[in-house]
Structure 1
Amino acid sequence: MRRNAGITACASALLLAAATFAFPATAAPSGAESCTSHQVPSSGYTPTDGSALDEAPVRSGPHSTCSVRWYLDPGEDFVYWCYVYNESGNSWTFGYAPEGGKYGWVYDPHLADYGSKTQCP
């Protein structure tokens, strides 16, 4: 598998102790609420520089039914934070655009290197 699933006990403890912010995401696309229910830690991750491969919709959650916040232009910088698999088995990366500080979810085939290599909790 392309992702390293191993996490040390120390890193796990840090992640559990990290303060969290509510960022939009979804576990099931059964309505607007599902696109805003995921918690993404505010610390414990090393952001990774990345970019869009094509015009990529940045959504409020990791599903195609979640609202589009804006679009990344091809080659535009997008800092990867972490990824999740949605209920359909699709991989989505949470990140932000350094210019403007906007954040959201992008379907990994739209991202260089197929997005983040760090799994969200």
Structure 2
Amino acid sequence: MAKKRTRLLAAVLPMIAAAGLVTAAAPAQSATSASGPLGCSHSWSNKDSDYGYVTSGSPLRPGPHSNCGTRATIYPSELLYYHCSIVNESGNGWTHVRLSGTDIQGWMYNGNLDDGGSRDRC
């Protein structure tokens, strides 16, 4: 009897899976994944001609998440040119910026910017 049930299950299971009644769980992605959720890469384009300053010494990051490393520390006297902004998977706003007079660019948390960051979405 058990052998008969096994054969029946082996024959029926592929049909159930094909019908979408059984799904396999996708593997969870790490918060430090380079391109997945909370990753340290995100596309951007230069859509904004605005600029701003930070309210205090603030990290410029390679990605729009606090878990990404720090490229530079930006101080209130340093001018930042805005490119565009996003809201990340955690619901936080970030602006892609370039430090005036340099090629240093990256993501700045909007809460650290004196005017709340770029209004142009990436």
Residue-pair matches, total: 90
Provide the secondary structure at the position in 1 that maps to 2:86. Answer: strand
Q: CA RMSD in A?
A: 1.7
Q: Within 5 Å, give how 1:1-40 maps onto structure 2.
A: 30-33=31-34, 34-36=39-41, 38-40=42-44
**Segments ≥4 residues shifted beyond 6 Å:** none
Q: Within 5 Å, give how 1:35-114 maps onto structure 2.
A: 35-36=40-41, 38-41=42-45, 43=46, 45-114=47-116
More strand by share: 1
* TM-score, scaled relative to structure 1: 0.68
> 1:32, 1:66 within 8 Å by CA — same for their partners in 2?
no
d(CA) in 2 for partners of 1:46 and 1:90? Answer: 19
Amino acid aligned to 1:31: T
In percent, how many aligned pairs have the same letter?
33
Provide the secondary structure at the position in 2 that maps to 1:112. Answer: coil
Q: Where does structure 2 lack aligned partners over 5 or more consecutive residues?
A: 1-28
